[in-house]
Chains A and B, each alone.
Chain A
Amino acid sequence: MRKRILLAAAVLLFVGAGCAGGQPAAPAPTSGGQVPSAAKPADPVDQAVNGIVGDEQKNADATDQETSDGAQLDATQTEVNAFSDSNYGIQ
């Protein structure tokens, strides 16, 4: 009986040790000895600059719709054509 209890305890310890060893491994260093960038926390200065650049790009992009106003150049075409389409009452 004792042997069985000891065996069960040994099995539990073995399984427990196995689970602990199954945790995700730390990122392997790159050839330069640095941690891969995916796992690297964002640089606050980079974040700051990216935020500012993104804001200004969004502002500049907002002016793109201005070019659609070019359609107004021909907006009077119907009224202009009426000058030559009319028969001026002469049949």
Chain B
Amino acid sequence: MAFNDRSRLAAAALAIGLLLPLSVGAAARKPAAAAQGGFCSVLSGRAASERFGARLDQLGKDLSAKREQVAAHLKTVRDQRDSNLGTLRSQADAHRSDIIAQLEAKFPGDAAKQAILSFQQAVDAAVAARRTAVNAALDAFRKGLDDAIAARKDAIDAASKALRDALTAAESKASAACAAGTDPATVRQQLMADMTAARSQFRDAVQNAAKVGPALQPLIDARKAAMDKAASDFQAAMDKAKADLKAALAAIQPAGGTNTNSAVNAAQ
């Protein structure tokens, strides 16, 4: 009996001695394993709205909203400027009519009237030509800017699609690795590396897209050149109209038979 008791005690002690280290070790390993396993749990347990595709969708919506805002702003300011320019031109037309009327008042007589009519026709043609040139320069600048914005949009859209493809592929790869029992820490590390690479590619693509910006300067230069030419042509036409009118008025014989070398001087 005493022998049996001793044997049982010895067996129990042996069992405790063998099992205790295992259970302590398991307890010590449990937090780390839970943390690493938690990454895969978190990855698979995310709500649909937290997955990459949904997050990318939201970013895409934010970008689209901003683009619409920019387009609306451009339309508003352009419409406003067009309206203002139309008002200015109407005022200029009215002022020009007054100027012609004043000339007619200062230089009476049929011959002077005919000379002023010719002057008016030349001036009207010069004004119309300048306005046409200004409109063309304006339209060209606007189209160029719209094209640059569209080109940038296309480049950004392509970059964001590539980012979406890369991120969703990385996400799927991570989920598959978790399902295959890969060490969660390894899964996490690989996913982070894939994401970093995808975002880096995206940034590079965006930087290249930003190079569309310098396309603006040629547009500004071209517009300025067109506006300068329109002004120069207009000035030349006005100088000729002025010279023609002065010559015509100077040649007019007044009713009394005196040569008005200058009707112009007489009117002063």
Q: Are B213 and A74 in contact (CB under 8 A)?
A: yes
Q: How far is the CA of A86 from the CA of B137 in the complex (A)?
A: 42
B96 touches A (CB below 8 Å): yes
Q: Could you say which of A41, A55, A70 contacts B216, with CB atoms under 8 Å apart?
A: A70
Closest to A68 in B: B77
A55-80: contact bitstring with B at CB < 8 Å (1 yes, 0 no)?
11111101101110110111110111
Evaluate contact between A76 and B92: CB separation under 8 angstroms: no
The reply to whether the CB of B245 lies closer than 8 angstroms to some CB of chain A is yes
Do A45 and B99 have beta carbons less than 8 Å apart? no
A65 to B156, CA, bound (A): 28
| Docked complex Cα distance between A84 and B207 (Å) | 12
Chain B residues with CB under 8 A of A76: 63, 66-67, 70, 156
Task: Encode contact with A along B188-204: 1 for CB under 8 Å, 0 otherwise.
Answer: 10011001000110110
Point out the residues of chain A lying under 8 angstroms from B10, CB to CB.
none
Chain A binding surface, main DSSP class? helix
- With contact pairs A72-B145, A79-B62, A82-B62 given, residues A60 and B81 touching in the complex (Cβ less than 8 Å): no
B: number of interface residues (CB 8 Å): 80
Chain B residue numbers with a CB within 8 Å of A49 are: 238-239, 241-242
Contact B192 A90 (CB under 8 A): yes
Q: Assess A80 versus B234: contact at CB under 8 Å? Given A66-B81, A73-B145.
A: no
A57→B231 contact, CB < 8 A: yes
- CB-nearest residue of chain A relative to B99? A48
Which residues of A (24-41) have their CB < 8 Å from a CB of B? 41
Q: How far is the CA of A15 from the CA of B84 in the complex (A)?
A: 63
Measured CB to CB, the closest approach of chain B to A12, in angstroms, equals: 40
A72 x B130 contact (CB < 8 A): no
Question: 8 closest pairs, A vs B, by CB?
Answer: A55-B92, A84-B199, A79-B63, A70-B216, A41-B268, A49-B242, A79-B66, A48-B99
21 contacts between A and B (CB under 8 A): A44-B107, A45-B245, A52-B123, A52-B238, A53-B234, A55-B96, A56-B127, A58-B88, A59-B85, A60-B231, A63-B134, A63-B137, A69-B77, A73-B145, A73-B213, A75-B69, A76-B63, A79-B66, A84-B163, A88-B195, A90-B195
Chain A residues with a Cβ under 8 A of chain B: 41-46, 48-49, 51-53, 55-60, 62-63, 65-67, 69-70, 72-76, 78-84, 86-90
Write the residues of chain B forming the contact surface with A, with a CB cutoff of 8 angstroms. Answer: 46, 50, 52, 55-56, 59, 62-63, 66-67, 69-70, 73-74, 77-78, 81, 84-85, 88-89, 91-92, 95-96, 99-100, 102-103, 106-107, 123, 127, 130-131, 134, 137-138, 141-142, 145, 148-149, 152, 156, 159-160, 163, 167, 188, 191-192, 195, 199-200, 202-203, 206, 210, 212-213, 216, 219-220, 223, 227, 230-231, 234-235, 238-239, 241-242, 245-246, 249, 264, 267-268
